[in-house]
């Protein structure tokens, strides 16, 4: 009896030990299965959220560009409708609308639609940008559920209208169906938990009130949420990821029947083993060994199933020691496929530190992320595969504390190279569209800064002189006489600045497109790649000949007298100041003449002001002809004129010019104009002291003129720098 009791105790202890061991094994296996499965589901849900975010961000960004461009069009400009149709083709909008401040919309589907009661219309009028909750359409889209993006249209800082784009909910459903990556389905919920888009094949499951209630409970958290539910007696796991900035969430639903089957097999195998172990222990050691071998075999099967689940995950799985080195301890077949190598080569690539596989440009950022508090980690970085190709990967991982007290890093790694390339191309495309729409020029071209090749987009080719492709720019532009070689240095500097990364350069130059040189504004804007290097330049050319000519005309009107075309007094003073600032005047005379037509009022009174104006114009022409281009001839007003003579060199030259003025005045009189002749009085002063202001010499020449008139007119008087009368001569 004692032996039986001992054996009973031994059997009980052994049975209890085996039961506890296998129960712990079952829990550990379940934890690993659930952990890997949930990690993958979380990664998939984030990926689906990113897809929806990128799609809606692209739509709203393009709508904002359209709203800016719409400001450049008139209210009745039909080109705006062509632009709306082009935007529908380029973006994912199913239709677009241009809405007036009264709420009446014109769209690519119908005109005259009244949307004044819509919430998004009121928000846009208040200057807001965004995307609405779903609502039922009306008019041509009645019965369809719609997401509406909206943006205000500004003109001089005031909202003049609203641009809107309709995004049908079933379009999002198609997008979700195309990107399904696992045995399950994905739905989109709004901020209140209502399902707004889902695959049609899953309507029976989506219609369950428990799923709707689940959505209402989790969406407001704004964070990644995971929950296990039962649908039609089938266990499912739902992972919800918020869609940033759009008040939406993506719910990814999947069934874990394989996990349940695996865990059921493990539990059943453990129970069978314990029963047989007791029977074998009583029967003998051989039976015990047989059952142990069988248990080991079944354990291997369970581990094999777990390995199969791991390898079936989209992407790859890797585990590392969560210490400073992150040494790799496990790699799945999917991870090896990602690197295109075997396990030995992969371990060599990972190195002593598991982070050696990351490119140096990204490693510091990843190390900083892993060092931050929290067990959940999510990083994007680049790795170099065994064939030398660089790919982008998404690393969704979790730091887990093992049973022995150590910590491990479990991660699911997926290839996101295509999505990163798409994102980069979208960014470059957005830059190009922004540049093109903001310029709205009638001539446009592109320059590949790597090959120095110019591609014509919309240059006017009136004479066929401009080919579609021009190589070896900018040198070829001078050879083809499109740009004058006078601008060679300036254009060369502009082109070098672009290659060095200058954002935008603009210059007004003369260019020849149709056999005639005209003034154009050349604007070059740079486009950059992911690394910040300049790869392309978008150029626009606008005809500014009229503007240049208008500015010159305004300048002439500001500087010159309207009737005679001579300079006015303000310009004469500027010329006087500029002359003394820019010249070496040592040893030179300068002279300031003041001229007045004698008895000019009598001409106006007897012959009329028209005849008087003709006399003034004729006198101005002949007076200007007496002096050099470096001298300044001006009309002060009425019949008063003034001349600043630059570098006269001697008093004799000043006297000769004064005499010529009086002689010229008598020569212009004809019987046709006056029936007689007129005379003029001239007062002049000599200038040697350049520190004195213009006003001093103005008064001195006026004083000389006054003396000439007192002397009987038709004569000149010259006063030197000491205000001493130098010479007086009556003509």
The 10s digit of each residue's pLDDT in 49-107 is: 888 888 788 778 888 888 887 776 655 566 777 778 777 877 778 888 888 888 888 88
Model confidence pLDDT, tens digit, residues 343-366: 888 888 887 777 888 888 888 888
The pLDDT value recorded for residue 204 is 47
The pLDDT value recorded for residue 299 is 63
Is 636 a residue whose pLDDT tops 80?
yes
Query: Which helix (H) or strand (E) segment is 611 a member of?
Result: helix 609-625
Mean pLDDT of 501-512: 85
632 contacts: CB under 8 Å, gap ≥ 6? 567, 571, 572, 575, 576, 643, 644, 646
Contact yes or no for 321/408 (Cβ under 8 A): yes
Structure tokens at 583: 């010249």
Query: What's the number of CA atoms in the CB half-sphere (13 Å) around residue 540?
Result: 18
3-state secondary structure at position 440: coil
Is 593 a residue whose pLDDT tops 50?
yes
Contact yes or no for 618/668 (Cβ under 8 A): yes
Mean pLDDT of 187-216: 61
Residue 237: phi and psi, rounded to 5, are -120, 135
81 contacts: CB under 8 Å, gap ≥ 6? 106, 108
Categorize the per-residue pLDDT at 674 as very low, low, confident or very high, splitting at 50, 70 and 90.
low
Residue 305, CA distances (Å) to 37, 299, 491, 625 in order = 13, 10, 69, 107
Give the span between the Cα atoms of 512 and 483, in whole angstroms: 6
Is 480 a residue whose pLDDT tops 90?
no
Model confidence pLDDT, tens digit, residues 127-179: 888 887 667 766 666 667 788 888 898 888 788 888 888 877 777 777 777 76
Structure tokens at 490: 């300036």
User: Quick one: 4 exposed, middle or buried, by C-beta within 10 A (0-12, 13-18, 19+)?
Assistant: exposed
Mean pLDDT of 107-112: 78
Mean pLDDT of 665-683: 74
Structure tokens at 100: 């007036």
The pLDDT value recorded for residue 231 is 62
Categorize the per-residue pLDDT at 463 as very low, low, confident or very high, splitting at 50, 70 and 90.
very low
Does residue 468 or residue 206 have the better pLDDT? 468
Beta bridge partners of 413: 316, 395
Structure tokens at 411: 């991660």
The pLDDT value recorded for residue 203 is 46
Average pLDDT of the chain to the nearest whole number = 77
Categorize the per-residue pLDDT at 701 as very low, low, confident or very high, splitting at 50, 70 and 90.
very high
Residue 31, CA distances (Å) to 85, 366, 403 in order = 54, 27, 12
Give the span between the Cα atoms of 203 and 200, in whole angstroms: 5
Model confidence pLDDT, tens digit, residues 558-574: 778 888 889 999 888 88
Give the span between the Cα atoms of 251 and 185, in whole angstroms: 9
Does residue 314 or residue 455 have the better pLDDT? 455
Contact yes or no for 662/682 (Cβ under 8 A): yes
The full 3-state SS of 681-712, as one line of letters, equals: EEEEEEECCCCCCHHHHHHHHHHHHHHHHHCC
Whether a cis peptide bond, with omega within 30° of 0, leads into 403 is no
Structure tokens at 153: 């249209």
Structure tokens at 523: 């604007």
Categorize the per-residue pLDDT at 627 as very low, low, confident or very high, splitting at 50, 70 and 90.
very high
Query: What's the number of CA atoms in the CB half-sphere (13 Å) around residue 569?
Result: 9
Mean pLDDT of 523-549: 83
Give the span between the Cα atoms of 453 and 587, in whole angstroms: 58
How many CB atoms within 10 Å of residue 210?
10
How many CB atoms within 10 Å of residue 547?
13
3-state secondary structure at position 531: coil
Any idea which of 39-43, 256-260, 473-477, 668-672 has the lowest mean pLDDT? 256-260
Beta bridge partners of 316: 413
Does residue 266 or residue 64 have the better pLDDT? 64
Any idea which of 224-233, 369-378, 456-465 has the lowest mean pLDDT? 456-465
Query: What's the number of CA atoms in the CB half-sphere (13 Å) around residue 704?
Result: 32
Contact yes or no for 99/105 (Cβ under 8 A): yes
**Listed residue (639, 644, 555) closest to 600, CA to CA:** 639
Residue 711, CA distances (Å) to 62, 119, 695 in order = 82, 89, 25
Strands 680-687 and 715-719: parallel
Does residue 457 or residue 406 have the better pLDDT? 406
Contact yes or no for 253/186 (Cβ under 8 A): yes
Model pTM score: 0.34
Radius of gyration of the chain (CA): 45
Q: Kindly tell me the number of DSSP H helices and DSSP E strands found in the chain.
A: 20, 29
DSSP string, 11-26: HHHHHHHHHHHHHHHH
Is 209 a residue whose pLDDT tops 60?
no
The pLDDT value recorded for residue 319 is 87
Helical spans, DSSP H, in 91-191: 119-125, 169-178
């Amino acid at each position: 009896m004692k032996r039986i009791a001992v054996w009973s105790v031994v059997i009980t202890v052994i049975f209890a030990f085996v039961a506890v061991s296998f129960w712990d094994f079952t829990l550990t296996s379940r934890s690993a299965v659930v952990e890997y499965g949930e990690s993958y589901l979380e990664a998939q849900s984030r990926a689906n959220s990113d897809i929806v975010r990128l799609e809606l961000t692209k739509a709203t960004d393009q709508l904002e560009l359209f709203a800016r461009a719409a400001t450049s069009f008139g209210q009745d400009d039909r080109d705006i409708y062509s632009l709306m149709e082009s935007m529908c083709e380029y973006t994912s909008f199913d239709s677009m609308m241009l809405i007036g401040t009264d709420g009446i919309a014109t769209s690519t589907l119908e005109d005259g639609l009244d949307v004044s009661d819509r919430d998004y219309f009121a928000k846009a009028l208040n200057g807001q940008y965004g995307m609405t909750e779903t609502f039922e359409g009306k008019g041509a889209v009645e019965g369809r559920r719609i997401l509406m993006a909206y943006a205000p249209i500004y003109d001089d800082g005031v909202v003049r209208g609203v641009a809107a784009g309709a995004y049908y909910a079933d379009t999002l459903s198609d997008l979700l169906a195309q990107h399904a990556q696992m045995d399950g389905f994905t739905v989109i919920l709004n901020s209140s938990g209502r399902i707004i888009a889902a695959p049609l094949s899953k309507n029976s499951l989506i219609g369950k009130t428990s799923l709707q209630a689940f959505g209402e409970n989790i969406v407001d958290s704004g964070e990644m949420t995971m929950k296990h539910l039962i649908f039609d007696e089938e266990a499912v796991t739902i992972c919800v990821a918020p869609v940033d900035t759009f008040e939406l969430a993506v719910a990814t639903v999947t069934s874990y029947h394989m996990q349940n089957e695996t865990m059921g097999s493990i539990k059943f195998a453990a129970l069978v083993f314990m029963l047989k172990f007791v029977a074998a222990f009583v029967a003998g050691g051989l039976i015990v060994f047989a059952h142990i071998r069988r248990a080991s075999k079944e354990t291997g099967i369970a581990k094999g199933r777990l390995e199969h689940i791991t390898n079936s995950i989209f992407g790859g799985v890797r585990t590392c020691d969560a210490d400073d080195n992150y040494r790799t301890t496990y790699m799945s077949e999917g991870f090896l496929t990602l690197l295109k190598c075997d396990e030995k080569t992969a371990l060599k690539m990972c190195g002593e530190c598991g982070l050696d596989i990351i490119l140096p440009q990204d490693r510091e950022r990843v190390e900083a992320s892993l060092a931050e508090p929290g067990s959940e980690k999510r990083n994007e970085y680049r790795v170099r595969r065994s064939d030398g190709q660089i790919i982008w990967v998404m690393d969704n991982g979790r730091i887990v504390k093992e049973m022995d007290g150590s910590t491990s890093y479990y991660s699911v790694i997926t290839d996101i190279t295509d999505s990163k390339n798409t994102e980069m191309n979208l960014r470059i495309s957005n830059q190009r569209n922004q540049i093109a729409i903001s310029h709205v020029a009638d001539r446009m071209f592109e320059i590949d800064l790597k090959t120095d090749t110019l591609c014509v987009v919309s240059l006017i080719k009136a004479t066929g002189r401009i080919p579609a492709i021009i190589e070896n720019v900018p040198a070829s532009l001078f050879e083809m006489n499109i740009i004058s070689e006078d601008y060679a240095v300036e254009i060369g500097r502009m082109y070098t600045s672009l290659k060095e990364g200058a954002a935008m350069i603009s210059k007004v130059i003369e260019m020849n497109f149709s056999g005639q040189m005209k003034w154009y504004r050349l604007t070059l804007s740079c486009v950059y790649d992911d690394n910040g290097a300049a790869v392309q330049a978008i150029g626009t050319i606008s005809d500014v000949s009229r503007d240049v000519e208008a500015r010159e005309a305004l300048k002439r009107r500001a500087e010159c007298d309207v009737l005679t075309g001579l300079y006015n007094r303000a310009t004469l003073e500027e010329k006087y100041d500029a002359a003394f600032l820019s010249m070496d005047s040592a040893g030179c005379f300068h002279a300031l003449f003041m001229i007045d037509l004698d008895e000019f009022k009598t001409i106006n009174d007897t012959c009329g002001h028209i005849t008087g104006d003709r006399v003034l114009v004729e006198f101005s022409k002949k007076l200007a002809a007496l002096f050099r281009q470096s001298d300044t001839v001006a009309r002060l007003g009425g019949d008063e004129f003034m001349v600043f003579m630059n570098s006269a060199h001697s008093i004799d030259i000043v006297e000769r010019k004064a005499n010529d003025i009086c002689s010229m005045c008598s020569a212009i009189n004809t019987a046709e104009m006056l029936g007689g002749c007129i005379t003029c009085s001239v007062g002049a002063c000599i200038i040697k002291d350049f520190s004195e202001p213009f006003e001093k010499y103005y008064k001195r020449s006026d004083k000389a003129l006054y003396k000439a008139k007192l002397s009987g007119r038709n004569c000149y008087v010259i006063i030197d720098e000491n205000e001493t009368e130098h010479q007086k001569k009556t003509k």
